[in-house]
Each structure stands twice: as C-alpha cells, then as structure tokens.
Amino acid sequence: MPPRMLIIVDVQNDFCEGGALGVEGGGAVASRIAEHVREHGAGYDRILVSQDWHRGDTDNGGHFAVPPAEPDFSETWPVHCVAGTEGAALRTEIADLAEELGERLEIVLKGHGIPSYSVLEGTVNATGEQVDQLIADGHWEQIDVVGLAYDFCVRATALGSAERGAPVRVLRDLTAAVHPAGIPSLEEELTAAGVEIV
C-alpha cells in the first residue's frame, strides 16, 4: 500500500496567541492537531513537524521588517521564530506530542537566513533529506497538511506538494489564517490546484 504523510506546519510559540506573530486560534489548532495525531497517527507512515528557524543577526533576506520599517504582514514580518529562542520552540501541545512519539515525529527546519514559507524548502533534521525531494520521489497515497498559518506556510506547502504530483489534502479544522477574510479566495486557489480541503 502506498505510504501516507502528515505535515504539521510551524505550530510554534511565535505563531500562537501571545507570540510575536500570533494567529488567532493558533493555540486551539495546536490542541486539535495533537488530538488528531494521537487518534490517527498510526495511519501515517511519516509525520513531519516543521519549524521556522530564522537567524537573529540578519533580516533573513528581507523577511524581517527591521525598525524603523514597518511590517506589511504580506511579505515582511515582525522579528519571529529566531533559532533557539522560546518563540521558535514548538507550542507545548506539539512539544509534548514529540516527547511521547519520539522519532515518529520528524523535525524539519526552514528559513535560516532566507524567507521561507513552504516546508518543501526545509531539511529533515534526523536524516538530512530535502523535503522537496522526498515529496517528489514518493509515490504517496496521501499527504495531509495542517498547522499555521493557513494562508501562508500551509498554503505554500500544499501548493508545492500538489505541483510535484502528490495527492494533497488540507485538514481545514487543523489550521488558522492570518487574514481570515481571505479564506474563500485562498480555498478557490487551492482547489483549482488540485488540493482537497476537508
């Protein structure tokens, strides 16, 4: 039977309420993802968990709006998810899950020194695999994408996976958007690209 993959995108402290770039509903999404993995994790052959892992000594290729510049929340952002900081750490619900499942949850780091939205730009820590290559090479039965934020990193990951021929689903209840008003047009874009939204 062809393998199935779950990609958990950037469920980090800085992207949840109270963080540098908190998404409303981020904490609840973290809880629901953890519950989903506990209930359905055995059905996935691989579970990838990505983290933005930006440098603190540069603007990461223009990704950070450095004062006095103001972030536009589209292409430039407040300083967030600096490698090794509490903001870059996995949200408690996901960190606890990682402790429970050990090697079953494979950490992927992305965006060290550059803007990075898609998990396909990252590398699997334990194996050194490029996620892009892993998805392009795999004869996947299904890739499920969840996490934060729906309209940026989840979007980019889902679209990138679909472009490489993988059957992709976004599990809608397991994500939240920076700009909720834009969700209808976002979902039109995803559906047009062959991404299933469930």
18: left (phi over 0), alpha (psi -120 to 50) or beta: left
CA dist list (Å): 192 to 4, 143, 185, 189: 22, 17, 11, 5
Most confidently modeled range among 67-76, 134-143, 145-154? 145-154
End-to-end CA distance of the chain, in Å? Answer: 22
Residue 9 pLDDT more than 90? yes
Residue 79 pLDDT more than 90? no
Percentage of residues of the chain with pLDDT beyond 90: 82
Name the residues annotated as catalytic: 10, 110, 153
pLDDT of residue 74: 85
pLDDT digits over 87-122, tens only? 999 999 999 999 999 999 999 999 888 888 999 999
Q: Is residue 155 a contact partner of residue 190, using CB atoms and an 8 Å limit?
A: yes
For residue 170 the two structure tokens come to: 């976004």
